Chain A
Amino acid sequence: MNIIKTKEGAHLTLALEGRLDTTTAPQLEAEVKGTLTDVTELTLDFARLEYLSSAGLRVILAAQKLMNKQGKMVIRHVNETIQEVFEVTGFIDILTIE
């Protein structure tokens, strides 16, 4: 999985490319832990993300909890498979998906 970072002041965009699963989730986790200190707006761009598993959900949940404290988090360009994952797990209610 590739992560493309774009930062404009306090607005960070992470574009994920590939699969967010057990093996790749630690990558995103490291990114979230390391670079969010002065970010008030986080955008996750899923346009090129194929799917995510519960390992990915875990990291997204951690990021959402963090951003709830220091700003806001938005997820963009969610495909049908991922949308369904968010729906069945109830994540749809705690995430902001655009």
Chain B
Amino acid sequence: MKEKVLSQSPIFAQNEQEANRYSCRCLQVMALVALLAWVLNLLHIFIVPPAVMNVGMPLCLFSFLLPTFLSRRIRQPDLRFKYVIMGCCILGIAVLSTAIPKHMVLGWVAPVLLCCHYYSRKLTANILAASVVCMFIAGIASLYIGEGDPNMLDGMAIAEAVITPRVFWEAVLFFLVPRAIILVGLSFVSLTVADRTRGLLEKQAADASSRQRIETELNVATQIQADMLPSIFPAFPERPEFDVYAGMVPAREVGGDFYDYFLVDNDHLALVIADVSGKGVPAALFMVIAKTLLKNAAQTGLSPKVVLEKVNNQLCENNQAEMFVTVWLGIYEISTGRLTAANAGHEYPALCRKGGRFSLLKDRHGFVLAGMEEARYREYELTLAPGDILFLYTDGVAEATDSANELYGTDRMLEALNSVPGAAPQRLLETVKDSVDRFVGDSPQFDDITMLAFQRKDPGAGKSMRVVPALDRLPEVCAFLEQTLLENGAPPKAVAQVNIAADELFSNIARYSGAADAAVDCRVTANRAVIRFLDDGRPYDPTTQPEPDVSLSAEEREIGGLGIFMVKKTMDRVSYEYANGHNVLTIEKRW
């Protein structure tokens, strides 16, 4: 049963095909030898009676070559084909053995030896049995119709080949039986070879399947790790005040680099780039811990310095593997453009002021995280003006090497960054990646390549208003939006549609949210307006409301849900988030 199951595994199925091929080839060689013997006999170099050879040889050639012929005809031979091959082999040898028994003594080992190809005990045993039986038949037949074995006959001093019962039994007892015993003994070699090779093959099959399992798990791990990094761009479409883009190309299946960005609160954005020492699975596991701890600490509103100190101590606990991580962490204040950052042994960020060129920001480095307990970190501040871009990267960029082992270096990186003046974050990353790829050429990628670019943008002209969430204040809200939009060149139709949306959204807030305070914020850039409605009421996401059936007749119609449905249909984007005790509903209208 076990043998059968394993026989179906790809390795054994493949072996079966190969064994068939090799066995056919062996039989071809045997046919060639038989042919040679025949020819030599015809040339009278061998002195077997020609009549015997002329009958026996064609028969034996036919037997030896039949499997080759069949294997070319049958496209997918099944497990029984090996018995056909063995049968032909035994038949051929039996014919030869009948004709010229003394020359064929060794030939009887051939079928059993051929069985070695198949790693099957059962086959070897069956073929041994068949060989012994056929050897007896052929041996006896040779006494009567063949070239009686002189070994037998001479010893028994029989002049003419007259087979008396005594001669017969002596031939059997003293010649055929000992040969059969020796054949059985030799066949054990074949049996043990079959067993041993089969064991090796089974081990190989098991290894292959466990290797495949590990590979599958690694792929899943890579996916999990990739999913841990925020990768939906634009990352904050409702925030016209900044743009962030990031990407990672892992060197092996799983990498130790990571980046992260997230809102700490409505006005603060955390930016993280980090590189864990080492590579592969250990680095990836450490990365998961470091990333989680950093995010947890930063989200409590701590400053970068305090976050790094806290996470450093957390990572130092039980860090038996002696791993560490370099981190650059910045907290950006959206309303003012002020960036507070701290660097734990990470590469210098590159900064480009609006209209200027990228250069390295030689900030003060602290020690790596998880390197030493109670390490102190410093933080620094810089203010980004609209248009300024900060570019963060890991050493996979700077230390990419070409085939001559030369480093890519930060100079080439700055050159690439400066080759596309005015480019947005995404374009910058693509440019640097292309530049690195071109530099590296066909050399393998040693380290993860991770980059993050952040740009403060001009949020556009706009205003905010605070308003008591009551229905009778709706005209005020509409007037505010209308004025802001018209001042900034929005077409009347867009204004009307925004007004309809404001009617739906603000009346919802006034009626159902229970809010005591609300605000409306309207930003207009070029050809789009981004309007945010904030309220401190119960968390409620109107965008998840089921869509109404707009195909019903007047009598069946219900009006619920129609308002938000209209907003979704007429605006270019509607999104909701709950942050810091506020419902924030953002709509965007383009024209």
Contacts and interface: CB of A to CB of B under 8 A. Distances in A.
Interface of A: 19, 21-23, 50-55, 57-58, 61, 64-65, 68, 80-81, 84-85, 88-91, 93-94
B550 A21 contact: no
A18 to B, nearest CB: 11
A84 B496 CA distance: 11
B321 interface: no
Contacts, number: 76
B559 A58 contact: yes
Given A64-B554, A88-B550, A94-B557, A53 B472 contact: no
Contact of A52 (B471, B474, B500, B551): B500
A54 B550 contact: no
B543 to A, nearest CB: 15
A90 B507 CA distance: 22
Complex A-B, nearest 3 residue pairs according to Cβ-Cβ distance, in ascending order: A90-B550, A54-B563, A53-B503
B562 interface: yes
Given A65-B554, A81-B493, A57 B562 contact: yes
A60 to B, nearest CB: 10
Contacts of B555: 65, 68
Contacts of A88: 550, 565-566, 569-570
B312 interface: no
A85 B553 CA distance: 17
B497 interface: yes
A19 B563 CA distance: 16
Given A22-B503, A81-B493, A85-B500, A54 B562 contact: yes
Interface of B: 471-472, 474-475, 478, 493, 496-497, 499-500, 503-504, 507, 548-555, 557, 559, 562-563, 565-566, 569-570
B496 A51 contact: yes
Contact of B566 (A23, A54, A65, A93): A54
Most central of A21, A55, A64, A65 by chain B CB within 10 Å: A21
Contacts of B499: 19, 21, 51
A14 B329 CA distance: 64
Contacts of A23: 471-472, 474-475
A55 B500 CA distance: 10
Contact of B554 (A51, A68, A85): A68
B503 A89 contact: no
10 contacts: A22-B474, A50-B496, A54-B503, A68-B555, A81-B496, A85-B500, A85-B566, A88-B569, A94-B553, A94-B557
A19 B498 CA distance: 13
A32 B497 CA distance: 26
B507 A51 contact: no
Given A23-B471, A54-B559, A89 B500 contact: no
Given A88-B550, A89-B565, A53 B504 contact: yes
A47 B270 CA distance: 52
Of the listed residues B503, B552, B563, B569, the one surrounded by the most CB atoms of chain A closer than 10 A to its CB is: B503
A90 B562 CA distance: 10
Contacts of A93: 551
B551 to A, nearest CB: 6
B479 to A, nearest CB: 11
Contact of A22 (B471, B551, B565): B471
A53 B554 CA distance: 17
A21 B570 CA distance: 16
A54 B545 CA distance: 15
A91 B559 CA distance: 11
